[in-house]
Amino acid sequence: MRARSAADLRAAFDRAFSEPPRAQRGPSIDLLAVRLRGAPFALPLSGVSGLFADRPLTRLPTAAPDFLGLASSRGIVVPVYDLGALLGYPVEGAPRWLIVAASTAVGLAFDAFDGALRLPQDAITPQGPRERTHMHVRDLVRPSAADAPLRPLIDLDSVITAVRERARQDAVSSPRE
Amino acid sequence: MIQHWTFGQKISAGFAAIVSLTILVGVVTVYALRSVVESKDRIITVNAQSLVDAERLNGRRDEKAAAFRGFLLTGEERYLEDLRESRRDIAAILERLKRNAATAEGQRLAQDIERAEAEHQGVIERVIALRRSSASIESVGRAFDDQVGPVRTRLNSGIDSFVAREARQLEEAKQTGTDSASSAIALVVGMVAAAVLLAAALAFVLARTLGRQIGTAVGHVQSSSSELQATANQQATGAKEQATAMAEINTTISELLATSRQIAESAQRVAQIAEQTVGAARSGESTVEQAHESIAGIRRQVDLIVGHMLELGKKSQQIGAVLDIVSELAEQTNILAINATIEAAGAGDAGKRFAVVADEIRELADRVAGSTKEIRGLIDDVRSAVNTTVMATETGSKAVDTGTAQFGEVTTAFKQIAGLVTATTEAAREIELSTKQQASGVEQVNLAIANVAQTTRETEVSAGQTLDTVSQLASLSKDLLRLVQPQAAMA
């Protein structure tokens, strides 16, 4: 990446408003490039209602290792789960980044945020059942840059469904105790 | 004590004993012979003379009787003269017999004869007187028969007794002489036998003693000869080895002489080079002092560079701190932009323009983040370069310090080199002089070694002669031992 001066950045920013809106070339998809235990993944921006960093967590006594605690998001208390643990990685400390799912008020924490991606729709490649290497991953994202790594696209609905199912089982098992 | 006598003393003692014994035998023999001679002389001079005188007395008696009868028959006076002469002889013989008679019996018998003769003479004179008278022949005959007959018988008897005694005494003296001679012979024979036995014993003892002594001495001589032979062999071998060593030493000394001459030449060249080195060392000393000053200037410049670099490092740290803030702002801006994008998407068509703004802000934040990351990398590179430069500069500073100290040492070393080279020059000259003296000494040593080699060769020849002599001595001692102790020599 070539270094740019602050003046260049400002000129580019101003030019964007002085020029007419750029026509859409085709259908595209907005993604969040994240990392779980160092491995690249992608999240659909459409399934996210908010992105946060260094959000304080209130831990609760629980037997579930992937449940990190409670956090507040715009006045709503959301349970926060370790996304890496939900995908099968071992639990390691407290991830710094947090998203809140759009469909349900559930927070998913991850280790690192690489940035936002806007890719054409055809950059998404479905994976066959035998090719899937992770849980809750059905598609593979191929970035436009040649040197960018392939990123498994996490199915947030599948993750949320799994979280719900386990919460329901916990709720069912708790009265017995 | 005899054991400590010498060979000559023992031989002399043996001979002295034998000579003493011989002298003793001779003395005894002389004594015995003298006894025998004395006995013989006594027999001849006394007994035989007495017997002869007795026989003469007998003859004179007969002559007297014959003269008496002649007178009686003839009446001639000359017969009376013969009678008187016979009677004088008888008296002289009787006188000698009495004188020679050693025993009382001899004296008595002589006196008896003398009395009988005197009585016979008296009777004869009466008959003679009768004859001279005019008496008849018959009366004279009767007077002769009656008076002379008995007297003459007594006279004859006395003379016969004397003769018989003298004969007996002669026989006894003869027997005594024979016995004395036999005793002397026996004594001499005994002495001779004793001398022979003693001589044999002495010869045996001397032969045994001297043989043992000579045998021991010869054994010692043999042993000494063997040792001397071995020593002579060793000496000969050593002389040969010494001769070889002398030849090698001679060669080595010749090489040493050549080497000494080369050393002298080399020392001369070293002295010349050392003088040149002294000049070069003094020139190098001034050059080193100039370099020392230059290094001090470099040291000051390096200190200045270090100060600038440390300042640059501080500025870089400040830039990094500012960049952290910018990076955090960019990150927060990015989060805000994404969240704005999410909100704009939720606002539908009304939020599209806002979404465009949010996208631009997010892109700007991305670019800022990218630029920040790039600048951080550059700043890290700068800080790393500054650190490396500072470390290198400090290392260089230390090296300059070390170089400064070393230049000081080099200066001192140059001074020492100059002094040492001066000393080296003097030493080289001394070496040259000493080496020349050494070469002269080596030549003298070479001559001495040649003399020693000649002496060694002579020693080798002498050792060979000694070996021959020792071999002859060993053979001689063996022969001598064979003469003295044949059984030992055979063993």
Q: What is the complex's ipTM, to 2 decimals?
A: 0.83
The pLDDT, as a whole number, for residue B491 is: 60
Question: Cβ–Cβ of B342/A49 closer than 8 Å?
Answer: yes
Coil, strand, or helix at residue A19? Answer: coil
Calpha distance B21→B31 (Å, rounded): 15
pLDDT in tens, A80-116: 999 999 998 998 888 999 999 998 999 999 999 988 8
| Residues above pLDDT 70, as percent of chain A | 92
Which of B334, B360, B370 is nearest residue A1 as measured by Cβ atoms? Answer: B370
Reported residue count of chain B is: 491
| C-alpha R_g of chain B | 81
The pLDDT, as a whole number, for residue A47 is: 92
Token pair, residue B368, equals 């800022």
Calpha distance B311→B59 (Å, rounded): 197
Higher pLDDT among residues A164 and A3, named by residue: A164
Does A7 touch chain B if contact means CB atoms closer than 8 Å?
A: no
Q: State which residue of chain B sits closest to A74, comparing Cα positions.
A: B339
The pLDDT, as a whole number, for residue B449 is: 83
Does A13 touch chain B if contact means CB atoms closer than 8 Å?
A: yes
CATH numbers and ranges of domains, chain A: 25-173 (2.40.50.180)
Question: Which chain B residues touch A29 with a CB distance below 8 Å?
Answer: none
Exposed, middle or buried: residue B486 (CB in 10 Å: 0-12, 13-18, 19+)? exposed
Q: State which residue of chain A sits closest to B332, comparing Cα positions.
A: A53
Question: Cβ–Cβ of A1/B364 closer than 8 Å?
Answer: no
Which of A17, A102, A116 is nearest residue B362 as measured by Cβ atoms? Answer: A116
pLDDT grade, residue A177 (50/70/90)?
very low
Does A172 touch chain B if contact means CB atoms closer than 8 Å?
A: no
First to last CA, chain B: 31
Chain A: nearest CA to B368, how far in angstroms?
8
The pLDDT, as a whole number, for residue B1 is: 61
Reported residue count of chain A is: 177
For chain B (length 491 residues), average pLDDT per consecutive 10? 73 84 84 82 80 84 86 85 87 85 82 86 86 81 83 85 83 84 84 86 83 80 82 82 83 84 84 83 82 83 84 86 89 90 86 84 85 84 83 80 79 80 83 84 84 84 85 83 71 60
Does A49 touch chain B if contact means CB atoms closer than 8 Å?
A: yes
Calpha distance A165→A102 (Å, rounded): 18
Query: Would you state the torsion angle of the CA atoms of residues B412, B414, B419, B420, taken in this order, to the nearest 10 degrees?
Result: 110
A37-to-A74, A95, B337 alpha-carbon distances in Å? 28, 9, 25
Token pair, residue A124, equals 């998404």
Question: Which chain A residues touch B362 with a CB distance below 8 Å?
Answer: 116
Token pair, residue A111, equals 């280790």
Question: Which chain B residues touch A48 with a CB distance below 8 Å?
Answer: 342
Question: Cβ–Cβ of B367/A12 closer than 8 Å?
Answer: yes
Calpha distance B430→B437 (Å, rounded): 10
Identify the weakest region by mean pLDDT among A1-10, A72-81, A132-141, B71-80.
A1-10
Question: Which chain A residues touch B366 with a CB distance below 8 Å?
Answer: 115-116
